Amino acid sequence: MSCMKISFLVLLISLSLGYFYGDKIHSIVPRHVLKEIESFVPSEVMAWWHGHQAKPATPEKITEKVDQAKKSEPHLFTKEELWKYYRGDKGSKGLYLAFMGKVYDVSAGKTSYQPGGGYDFFAGRDGTKGFVTGDFSDEGLTDVLDGLDENMFGGFKEWQTFYATTYKFIGFLIGNFYDKNGQPTAALKNAESKIKSAMDVEKKRKEESKKYPMCNSESSAAKGSRVWCSNRSGGVERDWVGVPRLYHAPGATHARCACVRNTGPPTEGKDMGKNTGDLNSPYMKEYKNCKPDSPSCVTVPPRS
């Protein structure tokens, strides 16, 4: 079965699991399996799932929440206070969690966060790191973001927006992100700047994948390996097909197959009147034994 078919199957299974089990999926499916599933599910689908399930606030509600927060002074919490009184168990004062040092009232999402809910481990603390690692152990649920790859920081942005627009902001947590006076720490500024860089990289990657979409590919012992272009390859719907080229982007460690526009003016730079699209990019190489204008190239011949 081709790689694309397997990914599609895993995507379908995970969406069905999520649909039927809701947030209980975290108690049913082991964490390492969830992480595996996550690597197959496109980030847009994950974001949709979480956002869709949690029903983000409407713009009017967001303004309302910001106004409410302005009216009452933000409270400064200690970690002990948040943990002791705000996990939503019997006799507690509420159901709160902190994300990047900001404390939110998550009682509107109590099915997820109250004791026994699929995400109860986030309640009463700042487990920011766990949101991108999927490590929901006590050690993994921390506000210290050491040891993360730079590219993982982009994952925080969605959660930041999610909590700010879905739940009521209550105050700040004294910890790695806010000091005892409620002032942002150097660690917070550092994290914010890493988030911004990761978002910029992601934006560039998306633009690049539109310009040079991935090729379709299939491989089997009997048929060998083949790459080809279509007007939907790489998940990029377009009005052109293009031809497969080995693309080695500047700074990239690996070359990949890209569908390259072969007619019309180039996407960037001057149109020299050649009408050959992006074929003249210095980062493109033709596949051996493949006609330069063929939309399909055999990269490994079938075993005879």
Positions in the binding site for ligand HEM (CB under 6 A):
14, 17-18, 22-23, 25, 34, 37-38, 49-50, 53-54, 109, 111-112, 119, 122, 131, 134
DSSP per position, 78-97: PHHHHHHH-B--TT-S-BEE
Smallest gap, in angstroms, from Cβ of residue 127 to ligand HEM? 9
Return the number of the residue (85 or 136) whose C-beta is nearest ligand HEM: 136
Tokens standing for 274? Answer: 């050649």
Smallest gap, in angstroms, from Cβ of residue 189 to ligand HEM? 24
Tokens standing for 271? Answer: 């149109």
Return the number of the residue (99 or 287) whose C-beta is nearest ligand HEM: 99
Smallest gap, in angstroms, from Cβ of residue 109 to ligand HEM? 4
Contact 76, 103 (CB under 8 A): no
Helix (H, G, I), strand (E, B) or coil at 298: strand
Smallest gap, in angstroms, from Cβ of residue 161 to ligand HEM? 12
Return the number of the residue (34 or 201) whose C-beta is nearest ligand HEM: 34
Return the number of the residue (152 or 298) whose C-beta is nearest ligand HEM: 152
Return the number of the residue (131 or 287) whose C-beta is nearest ligand HEM: 131
Contact 86, 95 (CB under 8 A): yes
Task: Name the nearest CA neighbour of 104 among 62, 58, 49.
Answer: 62
Beta strands in the chain (DSSP E): 75-77, 96-99, 102-105, 168-173, 216-220, 224-228, 243-247, 256-260, 284-285, 296-300
Smallest gap, in angstroms, from Cβ of residue 248 to ligand HEM? 32
Contact 263, 278 (CB under 8 A): no
Smallest gap, in angstroms, from Cβ of residue 19 to ligand HEM? 7
Tokens standing for 215? Answer: 């090729």
Task: Name the nearest CA neighbour of 49 among 112, 141, 97, 2.
Answer: 112
Return the number of the residue (79 or 110) whose C-beta is nearest ligand HEM: 110
Amino acid at 88: G
Phi/psi of residue 6, each to 5°?
-60, -45
Return the number of the residue (25 or 76) whose C-beta is nearest ligand HEM: 25
Phi/psi of residue 174, each to 5°?
-75, 120
Tokens standing for 239? Answer: 């009005």
Smallest gap, in angstroms, from Cβ of residue 119 to ligand HEM? 5
Return the number of the residue (156 or 287) whose C-beta is nearest ligand HEM: 156
Smallest gap, in angstroms, from Cβ of residue 50 to ligand HEM? 5
Task: Name the nearest CA neighbour of 4 among 212, 235, 303.
Answer: 235
